[in-house]
Amino acid sequence: MSNPLLDFTDLPLFDQVQPEHITPAIDSLLAEANTALEKVTQPDFPSDWNAIAKVLDVSTERLGRAWGVVGHLNGVADTPELRAAYNEALPKVTEFWTRLGSDERLYAKYKAIRPESLNVEQRQAHKNAVRNFVLGGAELSGAAKERFAAIQERQAELSQKFSENALDATDAYAYYATPDELAGVPDDVVQGARAAAEAEGKAGYKLTLKMPVYLPVMQFAHSGALRERMYRAYVTRASDQGDAKFDNSANIAEILALRQEEAKLLGYQNFGEVSVVPKMADSPKQVIDFLRDLAGRAKPYAQQDIADMRAFAADKLNLSNPQAWDWPYIGEKLKEARYSFSEQEVKQYFTAPKVLAGLFKIVETLFEVTLRRDVAPVWNPGVEFYRIERERRDGDRLSTELVGQFYLDPAARTGKRGGAWMDDVRARWLRPDDGKLQTPVAHLVCNFAEGVEGKPALLTHDDVITLFHECGHGLHHMLTQVNERDVSGISGVEWDAVELPSQFMENFCWEWDVLKHMTAHVDTGAALPRELFDKMLAAKNFQSGLGTLRQIEFALFDMLLHTDHDPSQDIMPLLNQVRDEVAVIKPPPFSRTAHTFSHIFAGGYAAGYYSYKWAEVLSADAYAAFEETAGKNGLPSIETGRKYREAILEAGGSRPAMESFKAFRGREPTLDALLRHQGMA
């Protein structure tokens, strides 16, 4: 027990894990898991779901939890020592999971299990398991099986390298600006940049490519030269246009070639076909048609967006020929002129503590739970830990039960990868070894700016939306009432439906009765004025056509890359072809945004990025149920919240997502609500 990674008594000991713990812990857990695998695949071991779970699932869950801790630290607290230990263990872990997923002896045991001997949850988990064995290469043999395993191992290495290059290229950049160059940039960003330079003993103001710095510079800096400098650095990260040691070009080419080879080994034409097998979508063609249909509807709105910006830039900003680095600035200035407010003005009202209190209030009200602070070992002093509880009535007795717990890691910092995400620490599971109910635990990770000069952190309204989004994922994982681990919470949910609960929660960021409780001006404590909110609401769909096309561009590129593209060819011609088809603004030739497209090259969204748009149809339609049942006071209906919780969140992956949606809405989803919400009806 001296190794903190081997302590499974309760929550992970994040504060004690050191790089030197990783190899011995993972080696020990791999040995244990291998022993369990050998035991359950012996001829005399029963083909029984519970018997296999008691031996194999208990062992592999321990391995998964420990490796999850290591992977999480690699994402939020990267150091050279931790990275080296992670990369040393990665091939061994990948090899084990690949071998487990393709073990024909284990596959035979699962195929021999009689579905009628299982409960409803187990039946769905069993069905998924049999499908995953096929996708995992269990029906391959000989050289094909060996090659399949080698492909998985190499892909894991390449994805990790892709991720490292994206992080390192981002962290490596710094520009020390002068006060004149920063004219127009918000005060809190300027103060943070000055403090960052002072911490290094340098003159000037340190600008980085982290989103809380990069985005406000692009939106507000009057200096076109500074915007161009930052833009070039940002869009050439980890590419052939930047520092050669971070170039992801070769990684991309090899990842795509390996995915194509994997698909052929499994008997599919391309990786897009493999990707949709466990998803809601029936085929890559259905996805491509869906994206092109949506692009056709959005394009006229996006063309109008651009026409408006061009006219405004020429008339008011003396920019007759706007460049790629000018559009965020023009957009912000046009928004200020048209709606008489700026993002900077709004941001003063969204202090992190107040936003969090408001988020908790809506969760508690809508889903009939209580959230409060809790205590756990953490990896950084800025990390907070919370518990979700529910009151249970048993006759006259009222008791409080723990539903789930989560870590919140809000701030951007060096060594933490960009973006925002939710991940699971452990799943809800009625454990087969001791019969006890294990409650779910999640990570909610963001990259917001930190507070400066003793003031709380300020969030943009987009940051608030991001927080609600990740919380939606977390609630999906934590509010589940499913006891079978592989289909509880987010487990077993089709990838193109997994964004439904997250995008659903974003809608509340536009409801006055919700928003007014989560604002307090950083200096005066005053709530957001209704007049300012009305301006925000009027601007809600400002450039929604452009935003929609941007997401479709990513999604269509991703799917075509994994269906029609020859992996031996450069990806840029395909990206340009997609832009010619759907985009209304073309980036400059040096732009290499695909080289940091971690979602598809290092994040599980390969041939699946369309999921965001696909699930947006589901989430908009689901939210329409709340609009239809809202009370006279504008507050959402508790009954509708309960129905949504029970049909979608509590069901987890225990049945197909379409069944859960129909259980809530009483019908299949339609596109109407999405187009209406985005002002494109």
How many Cβ atoms from other residues are within 10 Å of residue 18's Cβ? 12
pTM of the entire predicted model: 0.94
What is the spatial distance between Cα 256 and Cα 315, in angstroms, rounded to a whole number? 46
Tokens of 620: 């908009």
Q: Where in the chain is the domain with CATH 1.10.1370.40?
A: 342-507
274 and 284 Cβ atoms separated by less than 8 Å: no
Which of 152, 107, 130, 132 lies closest to 261 in space, CA to CA?
152
Task: Give the list of residues 6+ apart from residue 481 with CB closer than 8 angstroms, or none.
Answer: 428, 650, 651, 652
Tokens of 133: 């064995």
Tokens of 296: 């056709």
Residue 10: the pLDDT is 95
Helices (H), 457-567: 461-478, 500-506, 512-515, 530-538, 544-561
User: How big is the chain, counted in residues?
Assistant: 681
CA angle 232, 233, 239 (to 5 degrees): 95
b/e map 271-300, b = 16+ CB within 10 Å? bbbbbbebbbbeebeebbebbeebbebbbe
Residue written as token pair 């003005």: 345
Residue 650: the pLDDT is 98
- Give the end-to-end CA distance of the chain in Å, rounded to a whole number: 60
5 and 70 Cβ atoms separated by less than 8 Å: yes
Q: Is 18 helix (H, G, I), strand (E, B) or coil?
A: coil
403 and 479 Cβ atoms separated by less than 8 Å: yes
What is the spatial distance between Cα 507 and Cα 160, in angstroms, rounded to a whole number? 34
What is the spatial distance between Cα 481 and Cα 487, in angstroms, rounded to a whole number? 10
Residues 414, 420, 421, 425: is their CA dihedral positive or negative? Answer: positive
Domain 4-117 top-level CATH class: mainly alpha
Specify the fold of 342-507. Answer: Neurolysin; domain 3 (1.10.1370)
Residue written as token pair 């919140």: 408
- Residues designated as active site: 470
b/e map 136-154, b = 16+ CB within 10 Å? bbbebeeeebeebbebbbe
Helices (H), 136-248: 142-172, 187-199, 211-220, 224-235
How many Cβ atoms from other residues are within 10 Å of residue 95's Cβ? 16
Q: Where in the chain is the domain with CATH 1.20.1050.40?
A: 4-117
Rounded mean pLDDT for each run of 10 residues along the chain, 681 residues in total: 92 98 98 98 97 98 98 97 98 98 98 97 98 98 97 98 97 97 96 96 97 97 98 98 97 98 98 98 97 96 97 97 98 96 94 96 95 98 98 89 98 95 98 97 96 92 98 98 98 96 96 92 96 95 95 98 97 97 96 97 96 96 95 86 98 97 96 92 80
Task: For residue 311, count CB atoms less than 10 angstroms from its CB and return exposed for 0-12, middle for 13-18, buried for 19 or more.
Answer: exposed
352 and 448 Cβ atoms separated by less than 8 Å: yes
Element (H, E) at 447: strand 441-448
